Structure 1
Amino acid sequence: MLNDEIVDEVRAIRDTHAAKFGYDPRAIYEDLKKSEAEHIAAGHPFVPPPSVPPVPNSSLQRTRFARR
């Protein structure tokens, strides 16, 4: 498998962030939610996730994961 420098950089950042909280998922989540709230308060746009998953609109999308 080829190494992608962007993926490696994102993983390094994620690992550094997780290490800062002792790899505690609850603490990591709370920090991310706090950061999200600060960005929203600063006026950055926030797009909530869809309440219903999107419906596939092509046969390719419907069968893409069918063989797994």
Structure 2
Amino acid sequence: MWQDTIVAEVRKIREAHAAQYNYDLRAIYAALKKAEEQNQHPKVSFPPKRILKEEEVKPALSTQTT
């Protein structure tokens, strides 16, 4: 079976990272949050998209022929 080398590399790194924390999801999460806090890159947060009510939605061009 064909293997994608990039996917294989990512899985290998993910496996090593999980093993470093004894596969404890809470420890992995805590380490990621700590790294995120130490990161100096600006964080971007977009506002949630507004969900329109059915009556607010304008119908598209009609495809019906009369």
Into which bin does the TM-score normalised by the smaller protein fall?
0.5 to 0.7
Q: Summarize the Cα distance change of 1:35–1:49 in structure 2 as closer, same or farther, 3 Å threshold.
A: farther
Q: Which runs of 5+ in 1 are unaligned?
A: 53-68
Q: Which 4+ residue blocks in structure 1 deviate beyond 6 angstroms?
A: none
Q: Which runs of 5+ in 2 are unaligned?
A: 50-66
| Residue number in structure 2 paired with 1:5 | 5
Higher Cα Rg, which structure: 2
Give the number of equivalent residue pairs.
50
Q: Summarize the Cα distance change of 1:2–1:20 in structure 2 as closer, same or farther, 3 Å threshold.
A: same
* TM-score using structure 1 length: 0.60
CA RMSD of the aligned region, Å?
2.4
Q: CA deviation at 1:46?
A: 1.9
